[in-house]
Chain A
Amino acid sequence: KGAQGRLDTFFKIT
C-alpha cells in the first residue's frame, strides 16, 4: 500500500 506522503516533501514551505 505504501506510506502516506506529506505535502512538504512535494512543495516547498515559503
Chain B
Amino acid sequence: MFEGRLLQGSLLKKVLEAIKDLVTDTNFDCSETGIALQAMDSSHVALVSLLLKDTGFDHFRCDRNLALGINLQNMSKMLKCAGNDDIITLKAEDEGDTITFMFESPNQDKISDFEMKLMDIDSEHLGIPDTDYQAIVTMPSAEFQRIVRDLSSIGDTAVIGVTKEGISFSTGGDIGKANIVCRQNTNVDKEEDQTTVEIHEPVSLTFALRYLNSFTKATALSPQVTLSLSKELPIVVEYKIEKMGFLRFYLAPKIEE
C-alpha cells in the first residue's frame, strides 16, 4: 500500500491550485522515494514536473510503485475541503481504484476522510535531458508574477532576454510596447528579494504570455522563482518546495517560421 502524511497540508493544496488549469488528468507516480508527476497540457506546449520527496513527509510508505491516475479538477475539489492548517494524509491500496485523503485539524478534534475515484491514464513521458543552461536567473516570484501579468495586458508574447546586466521582458501589441529590465541585485537585506543572474552566454527567446501567466499560479509555493534559458530550448520555470522538492514548468518557445 501507499501512505503519505504531510504535516503542511497547505503545500498540496497550493500545488493543485498551480497545475489544475494547465493539466486535466495525470498519473501521480508513487515510489519509495516520493511522489513524482509529469504531464503536458493538451496542446503539448507546456509541461508540469512535480517532485515531492519521501523525506518531506512526516510518514511515508510505498510498498510497490503505483501510478495513481487522477483528474486534477476533482482532486482540487477534494483538497479545497481541507483547512489550510490541516495535516493531509494520502492513502491508496496496491490494487485499489480509489485514493483516500484524510484531513486532520491541527488540534486533532476533526478528522475527515474523502475517497476519490482513480482513473486509468496512458501518459506520455518526455525524456528531459540534464542541460547546462546558457542563463539562469533567480528572482522574487511575486515580481515575476507581476511582470507577466502586466505584460499580458499589452501583448500576447514576451521576449525574455538575459545578459550579464540582468533579465528583460518585452512585449508589444495594438496599443503600444513595454520593456521591463530587472538588474542583478544582491545587495538587498532579505535573500528572497534578490535577483541573481548566472550567465554563460546572452540569450533571448519568445514565449506565449498566456502560459507564463498560468505558471505564476505557483507563486504561493516559494518566495523565489528560477528561470533557466538556452537558445532553442524550452524555458524552465522552477518553484522550489521547501524540504520536499520542486514544481517545474517547461514552455516551448516560439520558433522562426
Of the residues A1, A3, A5, A13, contact of B126 by C-beta under 8 Å: A13
In contact, A3 and B254 (Cβ under 8 angstroms): yes
> Which residues in chain B, 231-257, are within 8 Å of chain A measured between CB atoms?
232-234, 250, 252-257
Which residues does chain A contribute within 8 Å of B64, judged by CB atoms?
none
In contact, A6 and B254 (Cβ under 8 angstroms): no
Interface string of A1-14 (1 = CB under 8 A from B): 11111111111111
Of the residues B45, B124, B232, B250, contact of A4 by C-beta under 8 Å: B45
Which residues does chain B contribute within 8 Å of A1, judged by CB atoms?
157, 206, 254
* Measured CA separation A9–B234 after assembly (Å): 10
Of the residues B126, B232, B233, B253, contact of A8 by C-beta under 8 Å: B126
Which residues does chain B contribute within 8 Å of A6, judged by CB atoms?
43-45, 252
> Which residues in chain B, 195-238, are within 8 Å of chain A measured between CB atoms?
206, 208, 232-234
> Which residues in chain B, 16-66, are within 8 Å of chain A measured between CB atoms?
40, 43-47
* Measured CA separation A5–B124 after assembly (Å): 18
Which residues does chain A contribute within 8 Å of B256, judged by CB atoms?
2
* Measured CA separation A14–B92 after assembly (Å): 26
Q: What is the distance, in angstroms, from A12's C-beta to the closest C-beta of chain B?
A: 5
Q: Known contacts A2-B254, A2-B255, A2-B257; is A7 also within 8 Å of B125 by CB?
A: no
In contact, B124 and A13 (Cβ under 8 angstroms): yes
Interface presence of B176 (CB below 8 A):
no
In contact, A10 and B234 (Cβ under 8 angstroms): yes
* Measured CA separation A5–B47 after assembly (Å): 13
| Pairs A–B under 8 Å by Cβ, sample size 14 | A2-B255, A4-B208, A4-B255, A5-B45, A5-B254, A6-B43, A6-B45, A7-B250, A10-B233, A10-B234, A11-B126, A11-B128, A11-B250, A14-B125
